Amino acid sequence: MTLRVGDIVAALGGELLGDAQRGIARLAPLEAAQPDELSFLADARLTHALKGSQAGCVIVAPAMREAAAARGDCIVTDNPHLYFARLTQLWQRVHGAVPQPGIHPSAVVEEGAIIDPSASVGALSFIGRGARIGAGTIIRERVTIEQGCSIGARCLIQSGAVIGGDGFGFASTPEGGWEKIEQLGAVRIGDDVEIGANTCIDRGALGDTVIEDGVKLDNLIQIAHNCHIGRHTAMAGCVGVAGSAHIGAHCTVGGAGMILGHLHIADHVHISSASIVTRSIRRPGHYTGFFPLDDNAQWEKNAAALKQIHRLRERIRSLEQQLLAVAGAS
């Protein structure tokens, strides 16, 4: 099924320069797009790719209007990347790729679970007793939502995610063993949240683990018990957040970033990929914390030098005090 460019603009807005009747069969990358495909240009550094593109229509920013129009049909909008995101959603709706409401016959729903009639529960998923699933939420295949957990409206839970597994809680015994601390809280997830494949969000030990509205979590993320993730925060794949960490709103954490437990992260904090957060961050900003990759032999030398920093600091302090004493005596 094709979409006419004019219908796209009628649904999403933007300024069309070109043929409103042009049919679009697919969405494609700018460099590979063909005459029956639509693409977008969000980065001015890729302007060179625009001239040679065979795309039937390209979404561009106002600054690229003339160059795009000289090439062929285009849609001009203030934010091409956002426009393209909304176009992908329109494409899914038109082509019927969105799961329909209902519970797959192979899913297991325990007694006492409440699932909104407009929600979709995929094959082989499990919904525990007392769980609540909000309107328009899509739960993909093999998702586990344990007892007492709640999912808000319009959420998307990708395959293999586990919501409400036990947090990692144990008390040491005099004999050197471990006694399990039962995890008696739950997980509360707000509206418009997306949780990636095989991501795990542990239930709280006493209170609940909380994921606020609009949070986006990539695949293979671990959120430990009693964490609190603020609204519209986004985390890339393989992020790990230890127990009782409180992360503010509108934050981002790059792939494989790690946040230690019981820390407080302010709103609008951005953590670079592979960084390890070992202290609370009280001010907004972009933070990075990792040792640069290097030849192994050189890395070992640098690491050995780092171990001496504390001793070197003490020596410098001692020298400063001696200099001050000499200056005072003179």
The total of other beta-carbon atoms located within 10 Å of residue 278's CB is: 10
Active site residue 81: no
d(CA 42, CA 76): 11
- Cβ burial 287-297 (10 Å sphere, 16+ → b, else e): eeeeeeeeeee
Residue 58 exposed, middle or buried by CB count within 10 Å (0-12, 13-18, 19+): buried
3-class SS shares of the chain: helix, strand, coil, % to 5: 20, 25, 50
Q: How far apart are CA 100 and CA 96, in angstroms?
A: 9
Q: Which of 104, 225, 246, 270 is catalytic?
A: 225
Contact 270, 250 (CB under 8 A): no
Residue 187 sits at φ, ψ, to 5 deg, of: -125, 130
* Residues classed as catalytic: 225
